[in-house]
């Protein structure tokens, strides 16, 4: 997802295809996540083959979201630590780009 690097900190519109909805055990309890494929910006430039975003209230408001559904949403690009933390250097081992705070959700008819 290095294609997201220039967009770090920006809030833009994205398009993606729902692959699956999963429930993972999080720090505060179970969390719903949506796996998306073919993530692209509004111009049609593919930014990532797959990514994961939080299943927010906006998705509940959309109704039933199934595999293959194309969705349009606005989100902020952020960096997150993956792979742990180096105690010796007190720095993260790996950084990854992620999408946060998805809003303005809509289903795209193709």
- Gap between the terminal Cα atoms of the chain: 25
Mean predicted lDDT score pLDDT of the chain = 85
pTM of the complete model beyond 0.75: yes
Phi and psi based region of residue 76 (left: phi greater than 0; alpha: psi -120 to 50; beta: remaining): beta
Q: Is the pLDDT reported for residue 15 higher than 80? A: yes
What are the chain's domains? 2-108 (2.40.50.140)
pLDDT digits (tens, 9 = 90+) for 75-99: 998 887 776 666 666 665 677 788 8
Q: Is the pLDDT reported for residue 25 higher than 60? A: yes
Q: How far apart are CA 23 and CA 87, in angstroms?
A: 31
Q: Is the pLDDT reported for residue 73 higher than 80? A: yes
Rounded to an integer, the average pLDDT of 59-86 is 84
For residues 35 and 49, is the Cβ–Cβ distance under 8 A?
no
């Amino acid at each position: 997802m290095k294609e997201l690097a220039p967009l770090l900190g920006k809030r833009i519109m994205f398009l993606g295809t729902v692959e699956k909805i999963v429930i993972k055990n999080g720090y505060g309890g179970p969390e719903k996540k949506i796996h998306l494929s073919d993530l692209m910006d509004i111009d049609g430039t593919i930014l990532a083959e797959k990514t994961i975003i939080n299943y927010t209230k906006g998705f509940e408001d959309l109704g039933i979201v199934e595999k293959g559904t194309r969705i349009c949403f606005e989100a902020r690009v952020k960096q997150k630590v993956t792979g742990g933390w180096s105690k010796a250097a007190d720095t993260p081992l790996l950084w990854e780009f992620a999408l946060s705070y998805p809003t303005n959700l809509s289903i795209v008819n193709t």
